[in-house]
Amino acid sequence: LELVAGQFVSALGNARAFEAERRRAESLAELDRAKTAFFSDVSHELRTPLTLLLGPIADVLEDAGPLPPGARDQLALALRNGQRLQRLVNDLMDVASIEAGRATAVRVGTDLADFTTELAGVLRAAAERAGLRLTVDCPPLPRPVFVDPRMWEKVVLNLLSNAVKYTFVGGISVALRDTGDGVALTVTDTGIGIPVEELPRVFDRFHRVPGSLGRHREGTGIGLALVRELVALHGGSVTVTSEPGRGSTFTATIPYGSPDAEGDADHPVGP
């Protein structure tokens, strides 16, 4: 009898521990939902005043005649920084809406080799200004890839601008390859690299590697979180390998897909 009673007490203990664990998981999920809603609300509230602030500055720079000495430079500086803030707000809203399950990829059959080459060209000037070589190697693919063009653009530009930001000597290469059932985009740089213990966290929202100062020291830690969400919306995944002092390689892999493919069905994102 004692033995049975003992087993009963221990089973009860297990059930309690299980229930406590379940409640903890539930409240964490609730907290995460609240955080996502908060980001979304704050970003939304910031968007309108920012537009109203930057519009007039841009107009003055464009239309006003002669300005007092120095005023043009000051206004241009304000505009550039305001636009940076605007990009951050837009990225935040994108991440929030994806995490809330409100975003869907609108896929169109795309010549992805061509499109990726064109996108890499957008950052060629920035790379060259930074004294970096940029190699683009995207040979023709056997068939169109179904992607949301706006989302693919963000994936390529975010990975590439990070490569420019965190590389001080050498170069960057962008390549797109057929993997059989999909394509793999790789962005390789000869930059500062990422310590191995930081690798699992670089895709987390707002995570920045401590002490890794990029060019201009600017950054928010939202770019890679957005890349991961966008690639997952296409049913793909993104990985990184890196060696401190030698450089990093980011690889985004997505399936060829079809017009009505539900890539996210296999890879749910968000809470």
Residues in touch with ligand ADP (CB under 6 A): 162-163, 166, 189, 191-194, 202, 207-209, 212, 219-225, 248
Cβ at position 34, least distance to ligand ADP in Å: 22
**In this complex, which beta carbon is closest to ligand ADP, that of residue 11 or of residue 213?**
213
**What is the distance between the alpha carbons of residues 234 and 140, in angstroms, rounded to a whole number?**
21
Task: State both tokens at 14.
Answer: 């297990």
> Toward ligand ADP, which CB reaches closer, 17 or 196?
196
Say how far apart CA 143 and CA 150 lie, in whole Å: 20
CB of 221 to ligand ADP, least distance (A): 4
Shortest spacing between CB 85 and ligand ADP, in angstroms: 13
For ligand ADP, the closer of residues 55 and 200 by Cβ is 200
- Residue closest to 119 by CA, chosen among 167, 185, 216, 192: 185
Cβ nearer to ligand ADP, comparing 117 with 212:
212
Shortest spacing between CB 171 and ligand ADP, in angstroms: 13
Of 141 and 174, CB closest to ligand ADP: 174
Select from 109, 77, 52 the least CA-distant residue to 258.
109
- 207 vs 267, which CB is nearer to ligand ADP? 207
Q: Report which residue type is found at 108.
A: V
**Could you count the other beta carbons within 10 Å of the beta carbon of residue 105?**
24
Q: And the tokens for 176? A: 């797109």
Instruction: Give the helix ranges, DSSP H, for the chain.
Output: 2-63, 71-99, 112-122, 124-129, 149-165, 223-233, 263-266
CB of 138 to ligand ADP, least distance (A): 19
| Cβ nearer to ligand ADP, comparing 136 with 192 | 192
Maximum distance among all Cα pairs of the chain, rounded to whole angstroms: 97
Nearest to 194 by CA among 156, 170, 224: 224
Residue 154 C-beta: closest distance to ligand ADP, Å: 11
- We find the least distance from the C-beta atom of residue 183 to ligand ADP, in angstroms, to be 20
| Integer Cα distance of 240 and 121 in angstroms | 23
185, exposed or middle or buried, with CB in 10 Å at 0-12, 13-18, 19+? buried
